Structure 1
Amino acid sequence: MLYTLLAFLVTLGVLVTFHELGHYWVARRCGVRVERFSIGFGKVLYRRRDRHGTEWAVSALPLGGYVAMQNDPPPGATLEQVQESFNCKPLWQRAAVVLAGPLANLILAVIIYALVGLLGAQEPAPVIAQPQAGTPAAQAGFQAGDRLIDIAGREVRSWNEARWEFMEALSSGGTLAVGVLDAQGQERERSLSLPAGEITPDNRDLLAQAGLALLPPRAVVQEVYKDSAGEQAGLQEKDIILALGSRQDPDVVQFVEQIQKSAGQTLALDVLRAGQVLHLSITPRAQAGEDGEVLGRIGAKIGPDFDMVHVRYGPVDSVRRGFVRTAETFWFSLKMIGRMITGEVSVRNVSGPVTIADYAGQTARIGLIAYLNFLALISISIGLLNLLPVPMLDGGHLLYYAIEAVRGKPASDRMLMIGQRLGLSALAVLMSIAFFNDITRLFS
């Protein structure tokens, strides 16, 4: 719980700080006086004033932040104070200051994705299992052992990249040309037609429903204990299990189940060691389990033998992929919002702070790369949310500026008042949905 809370606060702190720095930096470039830059709301816990007169503060409630600017000149203002006031700036400068916050979040996502590409990561190879009969993948002719090499003309090097390339077609439907390297080493192209899938937050895997799933890993010996049945049989670390008894290519669960129910029985065991197939025999020793049931044990640690690839890109490709991934994620998220409005996608997909905190903790536990990818995704979401033309958000202010540009004068007070009420109502509804979804997920 504490770890999740800490990961969430770090996430929020980084994203809010970067967003507000965008506003601050452009405001300073435009000559606007910034009175306070605060991380958090409420009581100020720490403050420091710089040479420009800006107070930098950390406040008690770490659920956001703000940049307070001098909006209007004070009474009896000098010419310099008038020129430093936000509302006295030209329209384009005011719009630039407002736009800078969401753009900063998008730039942060580009930087993070580029960094992930530079650091590289071990990811599962895109080798698929045998599709179930009747699925789109089976109808397209995919076979077990097919290695995905490109999707719609775009190269894929790992299963994670393949899932991303399938995302759009899985949600909206469509036909994709998929290049594969089959089990015989021949390059082939398969035409995969996907129906539009319903996106729900219940973890249904649309790709698996389409018939595409990772080839199950074979069982591999990770450790053999001294004076065990495994050592007596000749098992060694890194042996890949090819067969146990009559079962061919058992996975980890199947191997363990067979061993447990075969106490005292001698089983044929085929393993792959350094490229050679060895034929062994193993007799699991009887041992009482926690409930008194007699189980077979061989004294060896068995784990999955995933086919992994190291995905890493050079500086230029990493930056290019950072821009592309950010743009594609932004566009996909925007379309999902549109489909929620039209009822094509369930509003149950809207997440609140509880769900975000949960995922922050989960990805932080998985590792740095997973957490960075999560951070980039949330940064894009914050940037997109703030660009929506809803009064009270940055996008709402930009909408007012667009009206001002068309009318030649600022929006009327009545228009501002109505917009403020509508904006507050829209945000209240959105927050209610988000919190309801969070609570539902906690108790479901």
Structure 2
Amino acid sequence: MNLITTALAFLLALGPLIIFHELGHYVVARLCGVKVLRFSVGMGKIVWSRRFGPDQTEWAVSALPLGGYVKMLDLRDPDAPGMTEADLRREFTHQSVWRRIAIVAAGPLANFLLAILVYTGLSMYGTVEPSTRLRAPAEASAAYTAGLRGGEHVVAVNGNAVAAWGDLRWELIQAIVDKRDARLDVRQAEGGQFVAILPARALAGLDVDGDVLTKLGLDLWRPKAVVEQVIAAGPGARAGLQPRDVVTAIDGKPVTDGVALVEAVRASAGRPIALEGLRGGAPFTLTVAPEFDPARKAWVIKVLTSMAPETVTVSSGPLEAFEKAVRKTWDTSVMSVKMIGKMVTGEVSLKNVTGPITIADYAGQTARMGAPVFLGFIAFISISLGVMNLLPIPVLDGGHLLYYSLEVLTGRPLPERIGAFAQRAGIGLLVLLMALAVFNDVARLL
């Protein structure tokens, strides 16, 4: 079932984005007076088509469900029909260079617009996310060195307000990419405030695709280790643990929350452990002998405790939501360009290049988390698709925009032989990038 869900989520995420991209080209082409011969959803052999409108544009569905294209009246097309003088006025290459730029740029811009609309809707609807309240960090961590001790809320990073855990992670990734300190404005549980600085040297070398916050010692705050359920005949039940007991220490070491309780039990390797806690406000002590659970491949005492982090509902009014969406789309685009630049210069590993397998995996995971998370993923992929298509690589929209920019500067179009050579080089480069992406995808799976 997970495989089916992943496949459907992948098609549902990528398919509409490509259609929206091509609709951008189509709408602006029509506004510029260019005749559109075909709008295809999918690539390859056409399996269904109908003609509509005064131009009898063919709307088609093709065999390969990924991709799509807009076919305009173009003299360079070997299958182009004979053209009258009226047709030539509506032919693509006869348009001014600025109209051609507008038509080509409309696809990526449509992807950015879609992301803005999705982010605006999500912000207005309100999303439930983990709060920025921090768990007590390990003493050897950068977070502990910065003065964080647990229970604090991070309210801003480098002057940018953060309302939820995802915002905090995003701002720290920006600091890593920019190679600068991360200044955390922190509100203490008692009401005071201070600034915790994670220096650039502590951020250097962190993989932005990995669990950045954990490596810095930042983790989600969780409630105390309260026993919610005791499994009958398990080690906890035999030792006398009861529901609503609060475990405060194991073998004399403080237990701050449910995660710490689980970690301590697993680290026992079956050795009997001494539990201290509170029952109805009164202290108690008992000894538990953990047993090995083959299914989990871990030592357990068979009690359930809450490990859910504190959450907040983040929502905004229409204007604020739109402003946030524009800023988030811009920041994500800039971050993507920076990452590409750092991969080109060798500052970031090429392992960060991902392909369809990883996208499908994330699509499946986010779909199982619920509609808001899945829609957020779609918005992110839409931005990535827009940025990718703007890269100055021949055969991509960015390559065509480069041609037309040169035409604006020189006053004449790029010679056909140079354009043809660039097209072949661009196809070769894209094949290499796709091979690298698939290799990285498979390596991650293995």
Per the TM superposition, whether the score is higher than 0.5 is: yes
Q: How far has the Cα of 1:80 moved from its partner?
A: 2.6
Match runs of 1:9-24 below 5 Å: 9-24=11-26
* Paired positions, count: 430
For 1:373, what is the secondary structure of its paired residue? helix
Is 1:438 aligned with 2:445?
no
CA distance in 1, matches of 2:431, 2:314: 43
Q: Does 1:146 align with 2:152?
A: yes
Aligned to 1:2: 4
Structure 2: distance between partners of 1:159 and 1:436: 31
Is this contact kept in 2: 1:43–1:60, CA < 8 A? yes
Q: Is the 8 A contact 2:390 2:398 kept in 1?
A: yes
Deviation at 1:67, TM superposition (A): 0.6
| Cα distance change, pair 288–142 in 1 and its aligned pair in 2 (3 A) | closer
CA shift, 1:164, in A, is 1.1
**2:302 matched to 1:302?**
no
* Paired letter, 2:246: I
- Distance in 2 between residues matched to 1:350 and 1:296, nearest whole Å: 39
Q: Give the partner amino acid of 2:6.
A: T
Distance 2:376 2:10 in 1: 14
The 1:254/1:198 distance shift into structure 2, 3 A limit, reads: closer
Amino acid in the other structure paired with 1:38: S
Partner of 1:345: 348
Paired amino acid for 2:131: A
The 5 Å alignment of 1:73-112 reads: 77-112=83-118
Please say if 1:389 is aligned against 2:392: yes
* Distance in 1, Cα, partners of 2:442 & 2:7: 17
Change (3 A) 1:318 1:88: same
Corresponding residue of 1:121: 127
Cα distance, 1:405 vs structure 2: 1.3
Change (3 A) 1:323 1:402: same
Q: Deviations over 1:24-44 (max 9, x none)?
A: 110111111111111111222
Please report how far the alpha carbon of residue 133 of structure 1 lies from its aligned counterpart in structure 2 after TM superposition. 3.9
**Aligned position for 2:66:** 63
Alignment of 1:331-410 (within 5 A): 331-410=334-413
Matched, 1:417 2:420: yes
Q: For the Cα contact (< 8 Å) 1:13–1:62, is it kept in 2?
A: yes
The 3 A distance-change label for structure 1 pair 240 and 190 is farther
Equivalent residue for 1:318? Answer: 321
Assess if the C-alpha contact under 8 Å between 1:218 and 1:306 holds in 2: no
Q: Is the 8 A contact 2:43 2:64 kept in 1?
A: yes
Aligned equivalents of 2:181 and 2:112: distance in 1? 30
- The 5 A counterparts of 1:215-294 are 215-222=221-228, 239=244, 241-243=246-248, 248-249=254-255, 251-252=257-258, 255=261, 269-270=277-278, 278-279=281-282
CA 1:325–1:187 in 2, change beyond 3 Å: closer, same or farther? same
CA drift at 1:250 = 5.3
- Check conservation: 2:291, 2:301, Cα contact below 8 A: no
Change (3 A) 1:290 1:24: closer
Q: Which moved more, 1:282-291 or 1:33-42?
A: 282-291
Specify the code of the residue in structure 1 equivalent to 2:145.
Q
One-letter code of the match for 1:29? L
* Aligned residue in 2 for 1:274: none
TM score, norm. by length of structure 1? 0.86
**What is the TM-score with the length of structure 2 in the denominator?**
0.86
Counterpart-to-counterpart distance in 1, 2:287 and 2:127:
38
Instruction: Output the aligned Cα RMSD.
Output: 3.3
User: Structure 1 residues 253 and 331, CA, compared in 2 at 3 Å: closer, same or farther?
Assistant: closer
The equivalent residue for 1:212 is 218
Q: 1:254 to 1:154 in 2, by over 3 A?
A: closer
Match 1:197 to one of 204, 207, 218: 204
Structure-2 change in CA distance of 1:251 and 1:184 (3 Å): closer
Return 5+ residue gaps in structure 2 as ranges.
none
Secondary structure (helix, strand or coil) at the match of 1:304 reads: coil
Q: Cα–Cα, structure 1 residues 254 and 388, in superposed 2: closer, same or farther, change >3 Å? A: closer
Check the 8 A contact 2:130/2:310 in 1, yes or no: yes
User: 1:310 aligns to what SS in structure 2?
Assistant: strand
Return the alpha-carbon distance in structure 2 between the equivalents of residues 132 and 284 of structure 1.
26
Helix, strand or coil at the partner of 2:134: coil
Work out whether residues 285 and 296 of structure 1, in 8 Å CA contact, stay in contact via their aligned partners in 2.
no
8 Å CA contact 1:156, 1:162 repeated in 2: yes
State the Cα distance separating 1:135 from its structure 2 match: 4.1
How far residue 235 of structure 1 moved from its aligned partner, in angstroms, is 5.3
2:36 matched to 1:29?
no
Asked if 1 retains the 8 angstrom alpha-carbon contact of 2:259 and 2:307, the reply is no
CA positional deviation for 1:76 = 5.3
Paired letter, 1:197: A
Query: Quick one: distance in 1 between partners of 2:137 and 2:360?
Result: 35
Identical aligned pairs, as a percentage? Answer: 39
Q: Residues 315 and 123 from structure 1, CA distance in 2 versus in 1: closer, same or farther, beyond 3 angstroms?
A: same
**Unaligned stretches of 5+ residues in structure 1:** 272-276
